[in-house]
Amino acid sequence: MIAEAARDLGVDTDCPLTHSVQGQLEGRPWLQYISYYEAGRMERLLQVSCWVVVAYLSGMRDSEIKHLRRGCVSVQRDPDGHVYRYRLHSVAFKGEEAHGVAATWIVTAPVARAVTVLERLQPDEEPYLFAKPPSSPSRRQRQDPHHVPGSSTTIKDMTALITWINAYCLAHDRPDMVTADKGRQPRLTTRQFRRTLAWFIARRPGGTIAGALQYRHQRIQMFEGYAGTSSSGFRDEVEAEQALARGQYLAEMSADSDRTALTGPAGAEAEARLAEFARHAVFEGQVVSDEVRLRRIVARHDPHLHPGMFVTCVYQAERALCRTSSGPAETPAMADCQPLACRNAALTPANLQALASHLADLDNTLADGDRLAPYIRHRLEEQRRETAAFLTRHTPEPTP
Ligand code: SF4
């Protein structure tokens, strides 16, 4: 019978699963097939890949992710049925509360998709998405069938994922390997993801990295309007990172003796605040490099200067045009900034450059003004006139 089967089916050293590969990488199937012998390993890799997506794009802690259960995503739709918001429900662990509190995170579509994948991966009767996958031998031996492995297992699985990615890249001549850290394969921990996301959201919201738009999207979704993450403290973490980034930037600025002084309505006030901040954050021309110390200095001696693209805000609540009665009094609402009219506005050379580019864009648009609706054209002409007058008033005379 065996010889007959071998004649009919042929003989192979492997045992491909009977499924069609659907995942595509640059328009081609990512694998020819999945081997029966590899299925268990693939399950673990898929599960930890989902963990990475959820951790990195939500800012959740490992314990919060491990509490995710089947059905944890809810969606909100517009009248046309399009999803405009995903909510992820789990348990937040912050401070002393050992059992956690129910919490909701606002997340993006990739996180919701990772949850769907995990729901398919686990058998219907399994409530926890990060319980050991069905083929895991240890799952079958355990008395507690819903046991969810701890951080050390996830760390091991991430190491296995990096090894797999790099072997795959090598075999397929791909350049997007996970790069070595000091000559070695990096060893990621579960805590790094939350901190790294906070770092990127705080420091590169409009930067040039590939993910800039995504981070901006993350930040807007998470913090500017929605209540998500409030119980988990992630917002506090991002704000602490933002304060540190601002402190480093301002300390470096105040230590630079060659820079051009700030101009604008609050230029002189900005210089005075910078000089005062330098007394605490700069020693013998060197900026304090110890992060913990600099965080303390910013907390105690915050100069309340907020660098922006078109303006450097020298915040003083009573003069702030962006302030609303319901908004917080201690920080400006930079998204509602009125740089041309506010007395808190100071200008760095980069701000002046950004305003000049904006003026050039307005000129270009108005050159084709016949195609604009009259109201729009009128508003743009007004904006152009105000921007040009502002620049004339506040651009310093070139030094001879
Ligand atoms: S309107 Fe602009 S310059 Fe004025 S306080 Fe608000 S952010 Fe600062």
Question: For the chain, which residues make up each domain, given as ranges?
Answer: 24-223, 234-347, 353-394
Ligand 1 centre and the CA of 321: distance in Å?
6
Instruction: Please report the pLDDT score of residue 221 as a whole number.
Output: 55
Give me the residues paired with residue 313 across strands. 306, 345
Instruction: Please report the pLDDT score of residue 211 as a whole number.
Output: 38
* Chain segment 132-183, per-residue pLDDT in tens: 887 887 776 666 666 888 999 999 999 999 999 999 999 999 999 999 988 8
Ligand 1 centre and the CA of 303: distance in Å?
15
Mean pLDDT of 378-398: 90
Spatial neighbors of 14 by CB under 8 A, at least 6 apart, are: 35, 36, 37
232 has pLDDT over 50: yes
71 has pLDDT over 60: yes
Ligand 1 centre and the CA of 7: distance in Å?
80
Instruction: Please report the pLDDT score of residue 226 as a whole number.
Output: 38
Residue 101 to residue 192: CA distance in whole angstroms: 23
202 has pLDDT over 80: no
| Long-range contact pairs involving 217-222 (C-beta distance under 8 Å, separation at least 24) | 217/108, 218/57, 218/108, 221/85, 221/106, 221/107, 221/108, 222/59, 222/105, 222/106
Residue 322 Cβ inside 6 Å of ligand 1? The answer reads yes
- CA-closest residue to ligand 1 atom 2: 337
How open is the CA angle 215-181-63, to the nearest 5 degrees? 55
Helix or strand run (H / E) with residue 105: strand 101-107
Residue tagged 């240890």 (tokens): 138
Residue 88 Cβ inside 6 Å of ligand 1? The answer reads no
Instruction: Please report the pLDDT score of residue 209 as a whole number.
Output: 33
Q: Which of 12-26, 47-61, 200-214, 360-374 has the lowest mean pLDDT?
A: 200-214
Indicate which atom in ligand 1 lies nearest the CA of residue 314: 8
**With bands split at pLDDT 50, 70 and 90, how would you rate the model's confidence at 219?**
low
Mean pLDDT of 118-129: 93
User: What CATH architecture is 24-223?
Assistant: Orthogonal Bundle (1.10)
Residue 338 Cβ inside 6 Å of ligand 1? The answer reads yes
Average pLDDT, the chain: 86
Residue 312 Cβ inside 6 Å of ligand 1? The answer reads no
- CA-closest residue to ligand 1 atom 1: 337
**With bands split at pLDDT 50, 70 and 90, how would you rate the model's confidence at 69?**
very high
220 has pLDDT over 90: no
123 has pLDDT over 60: yes
Instruction: Please report the pLDDT score of residue 224 as a whole number.
Output: 45
